[in-house]
A and B are shown apart, each in its own frame.
Chain A
Amino acid sequence: MKTKILLLILSVCLSSFLFPVLSDAQVKLTKEEEAELSFHIKNKIDEFQDYLGVIASGKTTVEVKDRAIKSALEMFIYKGEPYYDVAGIKNTGVKMQTSGSNGVVKSQLMKTYLNRLKGMVGGRYSDIVIEASDAVKVGNIYPANDGTGRYVSTAQIFQHFCGYSESGYKVYEDYTRKTVKIYIEKQTMMTPNGEIATFIVQLGDMAVKETWH
């Protein structure tokens, strides 16, 4: 009898512990929340694209470039550092895909990519301009259902990369369509003004979908 009662208590405790996680993972966002999040995601991606422009430019100082790299990495899950995914598998960190003039797509750590981008001016190019299109498309936002309670989405972005020689001539140019994985986590936290709820939006891997030269 005692064992039965203990099991009952244990199952009640477990279900009350698990229930919020499971239900949280399945809660569909309202249209209003989705619209606000899409707007927020677009802003975030715009901000990242702006950082790329700052990091690549021949007109910004190394100190500003370093600040921009730091700020850019803050936007990614685990700040671009290695992490263990929900299955316990080690991930070396967020990746960025790029495509070269030969059309070959390469994947590298975001951290590595940003630092390489910083050093590109002064080498092959004397200046680089990276322009982003306003046409950021945010896909549906849906529950990840991976036990984390978070939501995921994918956004599509367009980049225009131009490399200039010392004499000011454009020596390289490409247009790329990329996708960005988006992670959204609903969090509640205590503040001096009481409890607040917010969505934490973070960026993930970026993949090349198409390149035009």
Chain B
Amino acid sequence: MKLSKISFVIGLLLLGTVAEAQTLHVIMFGNTLDEKLGRACGVCCNVTNNELASIADYIGYNYKTYPYTGVNCSNENLVDVLATLNCKKDDIVFFYYSGHGTRAVNDESQFPQMCLKYTYEEDKFFPVEKVSRLIAEKHPRLSIVMTDCCNNEVSGVSPKPASFETAGGNTSVDEKMMRNIKRLFCDFSGSITATGCKKGQYSWYYTLRGQERGYFTFSFWDALYQDSKQDSAPDWQSVMKSAYDKTSSQRFQDGSGKTFVQQPYYVCNVTNVNDDVKQPEQKQPETQKPESDPHSGNYWDSLVDHSLSMSRRGEIADKMLNTLFSSDAQVQIVGRNMTTTLAVEDIRVFLNRISLSQKIRKVNVVSQNKDGNGKINYIVVHEVYNK
């Protein structure tokens, strides 16, 4: 009896915490100006941003990004963002870096140093392990530090992979996938630090049929989605193992025909919060998605808010058209790999279609260009569908 009362109180406490709007913080550094890797780094950053924006929607978290690409991919900005990061205790922090990496001969860490700036200055390199430590000091519930970079010096080689599974279509999710993704991001606490390869190895970026990819980044997202499609509940160990297997099963060749393997290195130090605290008998309520407010400028969420009438969503589409876009704006719809173009539509056609859709649950904005009047004249988006 006493135990059930304690469980009830713990349950109420948990409920209170769940009801509060938690945040998924995404700190992203991409060496997009690098002559060799820049384009692929840009694609990998877009892919990761797109996946995480969708995940924030599935798990009912606010989504906050701290993007540092191009000239902003610098040591100074990294130090600054980690110092000013403000986390609540149930928040999740996802750090991602795509670019060159290296290590010192006498480095004790298994993880590399990120080169960050495209004009390489050795003293500005930043160790991955230090990022994990600094984020841990902010006490988020879960932190994931993921870097797709070499763990050794590399020059003068171009990757030639055997094959790779693509994800060129829209994202399509069902209840089971969302439940499993929610389990991964909401039921675990601790930290995961992962990098594209073991020390002494290279992380491979390559172009396949004109599409840029980073092998580890793509393998990680494939692994996460494939594991979340399974009937059994996934955990981070199995996701990271799948990402490891996918990456290390491939062989890469440089221009001279020399073969390389890439084996990701990761430390997964997470526990299932439900294993520590027994949940009360009552079913845990669904996390409340932050209510969309068309007046707050959160137009995209309102446009796909199926609780609003189609008339209302049509009005929001008109308002977006008049306030945000130039009349001749074009929309490029890209697949999950961020490089396959699925369609290009006029803004009127696009907004009208989204406002009437019963299956689109989210529109992720990948990039946008504005005209001299500050209106968007070109926008790249990814659509997430309910299955």
Q: Tell me whether A68 and B356 are in contact (CB under 8 A).
A: yes
Q: Mark B133-165, 1 if CB is under 8 A from A, else 0.
A: 000000000000000000000000000000000
Measured CB to CB, the nearest residue on chain A to B317 is A67
- B359 is contacted by which of A32, A50, A197, A200 (Cβ under 8 Å)? A50
Binds A, one of B1-9, B92-100, B274-282, B334-342: B334-342
- A67 is contacted by which of B356, B367, B377, B380 (Cβ under 8 Å)? B356
Q: Tell me whether A71 and B335 are in contact (CB under 8 A).
A: no
Q: Mark B157-189, 1 if CB is under 8 A from A, else 0.
A: 000000000101110000000000000000000
Q: Tell me whether B358 and A71 are in contact (CB under 8 A).
A: no
**B70–chain A nearest beta-carbon distance, Å:** 14
Q: Tell me whether B168 and A63 are in contact (CB under 8 A).
A: no
A36-B335, A50-B357, A71-B353 known; A63 and B311 CB under 8 Å? yes
Residues of A within 8 A of B380 (CB): 193
**Interface residue A196 (Cβ < 8 Å from any Cβ of B):** yes
Q: Mark A40-62, 1 if CB is under 8 A from B, else 0.
A: 10010011001100100000110
A50-B359, A70-B352, A197-B341 known; A32 and B168 CB under 8 Å? yes
Q: How far is the CA of A198 from the CA of B342 in the complex (A)?
A: 6
Measured CB to CB, the nearest residue on chain A to B166 is A32
Measured CB to CB, the nearest residue on chain A to B170 is A43
- A192 is contacted by which of B310, B343, B344, B369 (Cβ under 8 Å)? B369
A32-B166, A198-B344, A200-B343 known; A191 and B359 CB under 8 Å? no
**A138–chain B nearest beta-carbon distance, Å:** 13
**Interface residue A74 (Cβ < 8 Å from any Cβ of B):** yes
**Interface residue A39 (Cβ < 8 Å from any Cβ of B):** yes
Q: Which of A63-115 contact B (CB under 8 A)?
A: 63-64, 67-68, 70-71, 74
Interface of A is mostly: helix
Q: How far is the CA of A195 from the CA of B349 in the complex (A)?
A: 22
Measured CB to CB, the nearest residue on chain A to B165 is A32
Q: How far is the CA of A70 from the CA of B355 in the complex (A)?
A: 13
A47-B357, A50-B357, A50-B358 known; A40 and B352 CB under 8 Å? no
Residues of A within 8 A of B209 (CB): 30
**Interface residue B200 (Cβ < 8 Å from any Cβ of A):** no
**A38–chain B nearest beta-carbon distance, Å:** 10
Measured CB to CB, the nearest residue on chain A to B344 is A198
Residues of A within 8 A of B385 (CB): 43
Q: Tell me whether A40 and B342 are in contact (CB under 8 A).
A: yes
Q: How far is the CA of A196 from the CA of B332 in the complex (A)?
A: 10
Q: How far is the CA of A61 from the CA of B313 in the complex (A)?
A: 13
Q: Tell me whether B349 and A63 are in contact (CB under 8 A).
A: no
A54-B310, A64-B310, A67-B355 known; A191 and B342 CB under 8 Å? no
Q: How far is the CA of A191 from the CA of B329 in the complex (A)?
A: 11
Residues of A within 8 A of B335 (CB): 36
Q: How far is the CA of A158 from the CA of B372 in the complex (A)?
A: 49
Q: How far is the CA of A67 from the CA of B353 in the complex (A)?
A: 9
Q: How far is the CA of A196 from the CA of B338 in the complex (A)?
A: 12
Q: How far is the CA of A70 from the CA of B385 in the complex (A)?
A: 22
**B172–chain A nearest beta-carbon distance, Å:** 9
A36-B335, A40-B169 known; A46 and B314 CB under 8 Å? no
Residues of A within 8 A of B170 (CB): 39, 43
Q: How far is the CA of A189 from the CA of B356 in the complex (A)?
A: 28
Q: Tell me whether A47 and B168 are in contact (CB under 8 A).
A: no
Q: Tell me whether B349 and A198 are in contact (CB under 8 A).
A: no
Q: Which of A195-213 contact B (CB under 8 A)?
A: 196-198, 200-201
Residues of A within 8 A of B356 (CB): 50-51, 54, 64, 67-68, 71
Residues of B within 8 A of A201 (CB): 343
Q: Tell me whether A36 and B352 are in contact (CB under 8 A).
A: no
Residues of A within 8 A of B355 (CB): 67
- B314 is contacted by which of A67, A191, A197 (Cβ under 8 Å)? A67
Q: How far is the CA of A191 from the CA of B353 in the complex (A)?
A: 22
Residues of A within 8 A of B344 (CB): 189, 191, 196, 198
Q: How far is the CA of A197 from the CA of B342 in the complex (A)?
A: 9
**B46–chain A nearest beta-carbon distance, Å:** 11
Q: How far is the CA of A67 from the CA of B367 in the complex (A)?
A: 27
Where the two chains meet, the residues of B that have a C-beta atom closer than 8 Å to any C-beta of A are: 166, 168-170, 209-210, 310-311, 314, 330, 332, 335, 340-344, 349, 352-353, 355-359, 367, 369, 377-378, 380, 385
Q: Please name 20 further chain A to chain B contacts, defined as beta carbons within 8 Å, in addition to the given A36-B168, A64-B356, sorted by A numbering.
A: A32-B166, A32-B168, A39-B170, A50-B356, A50-B357, A50-B359, A64-B311, A64-B314, A67-B356, A71-B356, A191-B330, A191-B344, A192-B369, A193-B380, A196-B332, A196-B341, A196-B344, A197-B341, A198-B344, A200-B343
